[in-house]
Structure formats: structure tokens, C-alpha cells
Amino acid sequence: MSIIISCVIAKGGAGKTTLAFALAMHWGAVGRRVLLIDCDPQGTLINLFAVREKKGSAEAICVDLSRLEARIKREAASDVYGVIIVDTPSTLREIGPAIKAADVVMMPSQPSGADFFAFKRTFNVCLKIGISIVVVPNRVKSRGQHEILQRTFKALSEGKALIAEPIGDRVDHGSYTIGELSIVDIGPSGKGAFEIAKLAQTLEEVVNGQGQGVESRTG
């Protein structure tokens, strides 16, 4: 049975595409078959994947948001893929189909006022639809900053989202993708790859009903 994850937040630059790519490479490395669906007109994810040499057990396609729900139902029913990851545009009015089609929504957010505002707007849409939400504090510089983010996201989500362990402020994520690689490719035993593995575990636990508590897992 496929796990369907949509990466959403109504703001560019929060880390949706980079984390989607890294998660796909993680699951591919442990033998899961992964389908990446790029719904963003910019096509960053599909372009990254197209020029990647070692695609492993992952595939990537572009799908218009108007056709997304039907395509996901078809792919999930086929039972070909263990994980389906959807990368979305940064416009709030466009991401409804990706939220509705998912088992869990992953919302990366950086420590900035613009990200907090975008998070709250996106969170409200997710809450109205009724989907499990995993917030990913992204590009976190210190433990102190992470503690502040925990409190901020808990307040903004009114305790109704699961807050994942943080992703550090690593230039590696962005610099490696220039070479069509992820942090998992470069340092599979490093801290960055460990953070991605923990995020993957958290997402799977939520989908499997083992991580539905509203409190932060790291508090």
C-alpha cells in the first residue's frame, strides 16, 4: 500500500522541493519504490530528477493539479510504489487537490515571520480539509532557536499538528542538488542524512497511526 505525502506551504523557499527530493533518495536507498509527482509549474523537482544519473528505484512525473487526485488514486491502486511524494506550488489557492489526495501533509517552515504567516494560512486550509499535518522546522541554527520554533508552531497550530525533529541549517542540501544529488547520496551516515531518515520515520508513523499525538516529538 502506498504512503502518499504532499509537501505544502503557501510560500516559496521554505524547503518543499529539497526535502521531497532528499526523502525520495532516502526511501529509494532502503529499497522502497518511490514516485515523485511535481505539480509546481516551475518544474524544479522534475528537472533535478531528469538529469540525475542514478535514479535507483525512484521515478518522477509532472501532473497538473486538476488531474492530481485521479492520478494518485490510479497509482495507489496499482500498488507499484511504496511511497508517493507530491511537490506543490507556493500559491495557496492551488494546493487543495494535493492536500485532499494525501495521507499526510508535510509543511516545512523556516524561522522567519514570512514563513510563520504562510504556515498559519496553509495550516488553516489543511485543518479544514481534515488531514494529518507534520510540521518540519527547517534550516534551524541552534537548539535555542529550535525551542522557540517548537513553541511558535505549537501556538500557531493550537497543538493540532505534530512537530517533527528539526532539519539543521545545512548548505549541503542546496549545494548538492546543483549536482542532482541529495544529502543522502553524499553522506549516507552523516547527520544530515540521519535527519532525513528521522523525518521519513515520523511521516510513516503518522500514516500508520503511530504518531498522531499533537505534542512535539522533541519536547
pLDDT in tens, 110-119: 999 999 999 9
Q: Is the pLDDT of residue 175 over 70?
A: no
Residue 217 falls inside a structural domain: no
What is the tens place of the pLDDT at every residue in 16-34? Answer: 999 999 999 899 989 999 9
Residue 216 falls inside a structural domain: no
Torsion of CA 31, 35, 36, 38, to 10 degrees: 180
**CATH number, position 77:** 3.40.50.300
Q: Is the pLDDT of residue 124 over 70?
A: yes
Residue 65 falls inside a structural domain: yes
Residue 127 falls inside a structural domain: yes
| Residues 115, 171: Cα–Cα separation, whole Å | 19
pTM for the full predicted model: 0.90
Residue 218 falls inside a structural domain: no
Q: Is the pLDDT of residue 216 over 50?
A: no
DSSP summary character for residue 152: H
Tally of structural domains, the chain: 1
Determine the pLDDT at residue 182: 77
- 60 compared with 186, residue with greater pLDDT: 60
Residue 29 falls inside a structural domain: yes
What is the tens place of the pLDDT at every residue in 61-106? Answer: 999 999 999 999 999 999 899 999 999 999 998 999 999 999 999 9
Residue 212 falls inside a structural domain: no
Determine the pLDDT at residue 215: 37
Q: Is the pLDDT of residue 217 over 50?
A: no
What is the tens place of the pLDDT at every residue in 185-212? Answer: 766 668 888 999 999 999 999 999 865 4
Full residue range of the structural domain in which residue 53 is found: 3-207
Using an 8 Å Cβ cutoff, are 2 and 175 in contact? Answer: no
Residue 59 falls inside a structural domain: yes
Determine the pLDDT at residue 50: 86
Task: Look at the block and give the residue holding cell 542540501.
Answer: 173
| Residues 199, 207: Cα–Cα separation, whole Å | 13
